[in-house]
Every structure is written in structure tokens, then in C-alpha cells.
Amino acid sequence: MIQFIEVHKTYPKQINRSPAKHALKGVSFALNQGKTLGLIGQNGAGKSTSIRLIMGYMRPDQGEVIVLQDEKNNPSLRQQIGYLPETSTFPPNLTCMELLYFAGRCCDMPRKAIAERAETLLKRLGIWHDRNRRLSEYSKGMQQRASFAAALIHDPQLLILDEPMSGLDPIGRSEIIELIHDLRSQGKSILFCSHLLDDVERITGHVAILHQGNVLYDGAIANLCADHSDWSIDMRNGETISVKHEEKLSLILHQHADQIVGMRQIGENLQDAFVRVIREYQP
């Protein structure tokens, strides 16, 4: 669905502003059909640049960005893409229904189909009763839900979600995660960015870690964390020993076999793994 092949992008130097910035330095990753990929990284890592390249807002300096088997990023392809931007801003004096009508009409949907789909989505997202209020009167969380509805109105095959949980309360986050799971089960391909690594773990098992314009890791979360699990050994005297290396583990097991009452593997979570990968990076 999405393929990045050795993509480079530099933001040019601007007068009286920051110097030229090499935002992406040969980035390669792929999202296959029906899969979910979490794009994670610190601020300025290149996540938003990658998304803007996918959406065709910018062109790469070098390399190829192939979206839905098309290299030229034709606007008509966006009929199959649902995009939730990081900042959900719309013309403020529109109502949510007018926004959805606009989004639907742009995808050549008939009025009746837009109305039916809007009702289903807005009820699911909990803003049906506010559908005729102006978007400027919405809270940040409600704007995010309206933006989500606009991204899904045309039932796209590929979803690109930039910080989908931003501005949402814990209940809202759970509802959105549930919705994303439903979309996954319908076979949609989903690429999303998030700083909330707990949520990333709840949504997907596959991540790409971006750092300073480079992909440091692209693969399963399980593989990323498995190699760095700790062993916790409970001793008869109540003491707990934490062991990182398997060689040391076998030594302790050999020397203190009679004093050990239990042992368990404590897996590294995505947060720890992410911090480790970033700290280990040598440019």
C-alpha cells in the first residue's frame, strides 16, 4: 500500500529563519495491504514529513514514495485514503454535517449515502447530537472526532492517522482504539504516528522507529523487546535478583540452585525499547 524507497527530503534554508534541514536521510519502509504500522519517533524525527510526502503535500528530493502502486501521487488516489491530520482544523464556521458533506461530495458520494454514513459514524464517535453546531464551538476532543469522521466518510482502504489520540480523554482514547481495531478487522491498512507508546502497543505489533531522519528499527515490537528482557529470580531469603544476560543467568542458576524459589522473565516494553534504541544510535 505504501512504500518508501531511500527517500531524502531537505527543507530549504529560509530568510531570517532556521537553516536548511535534512529531514529524511534515505528512509525506507513499507506498509503492506491489511497491515498496521506505527511510525514512532521524537519530535523532529521525520514522521510528519513522511506523512506529508505520502499525502503528496511535498515531493521527495531523492528516492521514491509509492502509494497504492502509484509513484506520481495522483490526487484521485486519495479517494482510497482516509487521512487524519495531527491538527484538526477546518473552516471554523462550518458545522460537522457540512464538513462531512464536503468530504463526501469530494469523493463523488451521493447525498443520501453521505447522510447515512455520517449518521453511523457520528453515532459511533459520540457527536451525533452536536452535528449541527459550528466546529469552532467544539472542544479539541470533539474536533478530533469530527476529523476522524471526515477521514472515514468514504470508507477508505488506507488510513493515515497522525496522532489519532491527541486531545482525547481516556474514555475517548479507548473508543478510538476500539474503532481502529474494528477497522483492522475489516482489512484496512493503517499507518499511524503517535507519541503515546502504550497506545501504539495496544493498536499494532509492528513499528518503524524514526530518529533524525533515519529508520533505526522496522519490525515487530515483540522482536524489538524480546532480546532485552530481564530475568527476575526470587531467592529463599526473600531477596530478588534481576539478571540481564543469559550467561550470568546460567551462572546464578548453577551456583544457587538450592536457594531459588522462583524465576520469571520481565519483558521490555515499547517505551523502554524505544529509549534504548534512540540512546544506542550513533550517527
Partner 1 sequence: MNRIIALARITFLNGLRRNAVWGLCLFALVLEICGMFFVDFFGRDLGRVISDFQFSIMWAAGMIFILFYAVQAIAWDEGHRSIDSILARPISRTEYVLGTMAGLSLLLLCFEVLLGGLAAAELLWARSLVGEAYFPVFSGLHFCVAWGGLQLILLAHLTVAMLISAVIRGAFPVMLITLAYSLICSGLPVVRASMSQAHGGNASDQGMVTVLQGMGMLFPDFGRLDLKDAVLSHEGIEALIGMQAWLPFSMIVLYMVLILFLACLIYQRRDIL
Binding site for partner 1 (CB under 8 A): 11, 52, 55-59, 75-79, 81-83, 85-94, 98-99, 101-103, 105-108, 134, 147, 150-151
Nearest to 47 by CA among 24, 21, 70, 65: 24
Distance (Å) of CA 274 to CA 39, 211, 218, 232, 282: 12, 10, 12, 22, 15
- Report the DSSP beta bridge partners of residue 262: 234
Nearest CB to partner 1, comparing residues 93 and 255 = 93
Q: How far is the CB of 275 from partner 1 (least distance, A)?
A: 30
Nearest CB to partner 1, comparing residues 127 and 225 = 127
Nearest CB to partner 1, comparing residues 11 and 128 = 11
Q: For residue 203, what is its C-alpha cell?
A: 493498536
Specify whether the backbone of 218 is left (phi greater than 0), alpha (psi in -120 to 50) or beta.
Answer: beta
Q: How far is the CB of 274 from partner 1 (least distance, A)?
A: 26
CA distance 109 to 70: 23
Nearest to 246 by CA among 265, 269, 218: 265
Q: How far is the CB of 52 from partner 1 (least distance, A)?
A: 7
Q: How far is the CB of 74 from partner 1 (least distance, A)?
A: 9
Answer for the pair 270, 197: CB distance below 8 angstroms, yes or no: yes
Look at residue 19 and give its three-state secondary structure: coil
Nearest CB to partner 1, comparing residues 92 and 262 = 92
Nearest CB to partner 1, comparing residues 136 and 240 = 136
Q: How far is the CB of 122 from partner 1 (least distance, A)?
A: 17
